[in-house]
Amino acid sequence: MPLRLVPRTRPSRLAQYGAPVLALVFTVAFGFVLFLSIGRDPWAALHAYFVAPISSAFGLSELLLTALPLALIGLGLAIGFRANVWNIGAEGQLLLGAIGGGAVALALWGEGVPGTFVLVCLTGALAGMAWAAIPAFLKTRFNANEILTSLMLIYVADHLLSWLVHGALRNPQGFGFPESRLFSPEALMPILWPGTRLHIGWLLLPVAAVAIWFMSRHTLAGYRLRVSGLSPNAAAYAGFSQPQSVWISFLLTGALAGLVGAMEVAGPVGQLLPEISPGYGFAAIIVAFLGRLSPLGVVLAAHLLALILIGGENVQLLGVPIAVAQLFQGVLLVAVLASDVLVRYRIVRIGQLETDEAAA
Amino acid sequence: MTKRLTLAATALSLALGTGAMAQDEPLKIGFVYSSLIGDAGWTFMHDQGRLMLEEEFGDAIETAYVESIDGGADAERVIRQFVAQDFDLIFGTSFNHMNPMAKVAAQNPDIAFEHATGYTQADNLAIYHTRAYDSRYLVGMVAGAMGDSMGVVASYPIPEVLRGINAMTLGAREVNPDFTTKVVWISTWFDPGAERTAADAMLDQGVDVLAHFTDSPAVVQAAEDRGKFVVALGDMSQYGETAHLTALDYNWGPYYVERTRAVLDGTWETDNTWEGIAADLMTIAPFADSVPEDVREMVMVRKEEIRSGAFHPFQGPLVKQDGSIAVAEGEIPDDGMLLSMDFYVEGVEGSLP
């Protein structure tokens, strides 16, 4: 029985807002059975997942701190994805931002220059942009597939970071361990919420979200990006340049990802390490789609993902194995994404479809 | 379903009930693991230590762990999570947990922190480490008896790993003077794919025995599949029935028991522990059937000499790769030199990254 997805002509408003809620209810019910079946108290586990992370100042600050990189990168990616520009290499652009920002922090190490962290962030954003410019150039000049080039540049960036922390940027007093010195205080992001790790970089999130919303809704550049995504032919007919949307998408995401990298090393990490990011650049791709490529949606999705990431650590303290924690996370994501698809599409049998069309 | 629910509810209320009735709250001990526990390897051996704690102290303690926490901003969050939930003693089991732990320890002077393999110590942050090179020397002797060359899948070129590579090479060359060692660095402690690729690359170059510093059984499986030998990190014999000659084995349990008892007794204080075979923190896994009797005897004799102090794996003359002398004949290197080791010994091929 062959099945097909057919777009709904008018997705119901109610379904659009109700579907994520329904997905959440389904996931919670599934989690209840799952945790019960491995002999854990399901209430305690669900509490650890969804309530504990936001019921204390510590938990809330960590949630905001973890969602920040996901949201910033997701905002940039959503712009590109709308324009059919597939930057899969945000992780690499993040790493370059960490390298660029970290190099500045180390060059000014112990110099006591006030406000070094600003320079760290700016350099990070520029380094991320420069890295993103490579796949953009290859795409516009040689029509090279940007999915492949941006993806492969992640591994180059990873090795570049590894080489630097093993060599030029290694802590001379670090017994040969592959990591840099701890940055001087003036290179670290000032703390926004005293007693937590949440730093002032968080203030950039609302700014970036509003700016990107404004750009995509109310500027010509944003309009061009959306049109070239919706209908490349129409965009070409209107004289919109495709290379331009490639450049804008890549440079914007590169800058945001680079900024995130710099803020990670100058924020919660405080030094350069061989492993900087637990995969924010990849998770942000999920965030972009989970947020239906809209700025508000991306910000919400980033916090949902951060919540289940932290919840996954919390339930381990209750003796829930990491595999079960990750299974639960996976089910949540699949449920949300699948319900989203079903709101916008309906499943029909091929035979049924033909009958429908004949009737119409 | 309803029945199970009732059961769970009963169990929960029982657990809560006894907790409230007990005179003292159990001591809460947290472990941060850098990789998955799995069924062999570095994290598995730490977890064996944790299980020994539960067996030893029963209801007097409660343990919890978080797996797969490696670098970045995650480690500090997990350590802070333990603190937020009133844990009394927290162990970080990987080098990457050191700086986050030092940061959190400075803000929580009443909690005891312990960090494995690092170098930063504080009033409430103890460091503990094993002289794994003792066991590396012994497994190297076995490798030297069973082959002429070794391929090492190595993680990061830090002193700990360099001591291990050098000790294995020295052990192998004691029984087989022409023995050579190749090294591939893969810049991770856990990546089965990369470990396997590196192992295969060295087998393609014709090495007889593999060794590894990484946490998965991939290298052992590679040796088994290709009919070669391996000396493993932790007993991984279930992954290589014929290939697995022996392994260096960490025995963290007694240390964890001692430190936990100190916290219970109120005598815990910061320390810097670096012990090996002499303190039974290190040992080696059982030999494969293929290891001849005379080799086993020779290795066991050396083991006892290391225990008694009659033999030191890095005793002079210790010759560097470039032919210069690192330790003169009749001398034993001090801990400072061992802790900052940054060279290959004679017999190791290639240059340091």
Neighbours of B265 (CB within 10 A): 8
Residue A13 belongs to a domain: no
Does residue A214 belong to the interface with chain B, where contact is any CB pair within 8 Å? no
Q: Which residues are CB-contacts of B213 (< 8 A; sequence separation ≥ 6)?
A: B152, B153, B154, B155, B161, B164, B189, B233
Does residue A253 belong to the interface with chain B, where contact is any CB pair within 8 Å? no
Residue B182's pLDDT is: 97
Contact A178, A166 (CB under 8 A): yes
Instruction: Residue A176: give the domain boundaries.
Output: 70-297
Residue A14's pLDDT is: 84
Of A56, A274, A319, the CB nearest to B84: A56
Could B78 and A267 be called an inter-chain contact, meaning their C-beta atoms sit closer than 8 Å? Answer: no
Residue A356 belongs to a domain: no
Interface subset of B 55-94, CB within 8 angstroms of A: 64-74, 76-78, 80-82, 84-85
Which residue type sits at B117?
T
Q: What is the pLDDT of residues B31-78, one digit of tens each?
A: 999 988 988 889 999 999 999 999 999 999 999 999 999 877 899 999
Residue A317 belongs to a domain: no
Domain B18-131+252-279: CATH superfamily, name plus number: Response regulator (3.40.50.2300)
Could B12 and A269 be called an inter-chain contact, meaning their C-beta atoms sit closer than 8 Å? Answer: no
Residue B204's pLDDT is: 97
Residue A359's pLDDT is: 58
Does residue B3 belong to the interface with chain A, where contact is any CB pair within 8 Å? no
Report the candidate in B131, B93, B132 with the shortest Cα–Cα distance to residue B113: B93
Q: Which residue has the higher pLDDT, A350 or A291?
A: A291
Chain B nearest-CA residue for A164: B353
The mean per-residue pLDDT over the stretch A103-114 comes to 95
Pick the CATH number of B132-249+283-339 from 3.40.50.1580, 3.30.2320.50, 3.20.20.70, 3.40.50.2300: 3.40.50.2300
Nearest chain B Cα distance for residue A57, angstroms? 10
Instruction: Return d(Cα B253, Cα B88) in angstroms, integer.
Output: 18
Interface subset of A 278-307, CB within 8 angstroms of B: 278
Residue A353's pLDDT is: 59
Chain A nearest-CA residue for B9: A41
Could B66 and A316 be called an inter-chain contact, meaning their C-beta atoms sit closer than 8 Å? Answer: yes
Does residue B20 belong to the interface with chain A, where contact is any CB pair within 8 Å? no
Strand partners, B246: B231
Which residue type sits at A242?
Q
Q: Which ipTM score applies to this complex? A: 0.85
φ, ψ at B213 (rounded to 5°): -115, 5
Residue A360's pLDDT is: 53
Could A317 and B67 be called an inter-chain contact, meaning their C-beta atoms sit closer than 8 Å? Answer: no
Do the two domains B18-131+252-279 and B132-249+283-339 of this chain adopt the same fold? yes
Residue A340's pLDDT is: 84
Q: Which of A122-136, A160-174, A229-243, B154-168 has the highest mean pLDDT?
A: A122-136
3-state SS, B148-189, equals CEEEEEECCCCHHHHHHHHHHHHHHHHHCCCCEEEEEECCCC
Residue B16's pLDDT is: 42
Instruction: Return d(Cα B315, Cα B331) in angstroms, integer.
Output: 6
Residue A41 belongs to a domain: no
Both tokens assigned to A29: 């019910």
Q: Which residues of chain B have pLDDT under 50?
A: 1-23
Residue A65 belongs to a domain: no
Residue A6 — pLDDT band, cuts 50, 70, 90? confident
Q: What is the pLDDT of residues A189-215, one digit of tens each?
A: 999 999 899 999 999 999 999 999 999
Percentages (nearest 5) of helix, strand, coil residues in chain B: 45, 20, 35
**Long-range pairs for B290-296: beta carbons < 8 A, 24 or more residues apart:** B290/B146, B290/B242, B290/B245, B291/B142, B291/B145, B291/B146, B291/B245, B291/B246, B292/B145, B295/B141, B295/B142, B295/B145, B295/B146, B295/B175
Residue A99's pLDDT is: 98
The mean per-residue pLDDT over the stretch A62-71 comes to 97
Number of independent structural domains in chain A: 1
Could A36 and B353 be called an inter-chain contact, meaning their C-beta atoms sit closer than 8 Å? Answer: no
What is the domain partition of chain B in residue ranges?
18-131+252-279, 132-249+283-339
Residue A12's pLDDT is: 80
Residue A291 belongs to a domain: yes
- Chain A CB contacts of B342 below 8 Å: 176
* A–B interface: beta-carbon pairs under 8 A: 99
Could B76 and A197 be called an inter-chain contact, meaning their C-beta atoms sit closer than 8 Å? Answer: yes
Q: Which residue has the higher pLDDT, B150 or A231?
A: B150
pTM of structure? 0.87
Check whether A331 has a pLDDT greater than 70. Answer: yes
Does residue B30 belong to the interface with chain A, where contact is any CB pair within 8 Å? yes
Does residue A344 belong to the interface with chain B, where contact is any CB pair within 8 Å? no
Chain A nearest-CA residue for B82: A317
Instruction: Return d(Cα B299, Cα B224) in angstroms, integer.
Output: 23
Chain B nearest-CA residue for A163: B353
Does residue A271 belong to the interface with chain B, where contact is any CB pair within 8 Å? yes
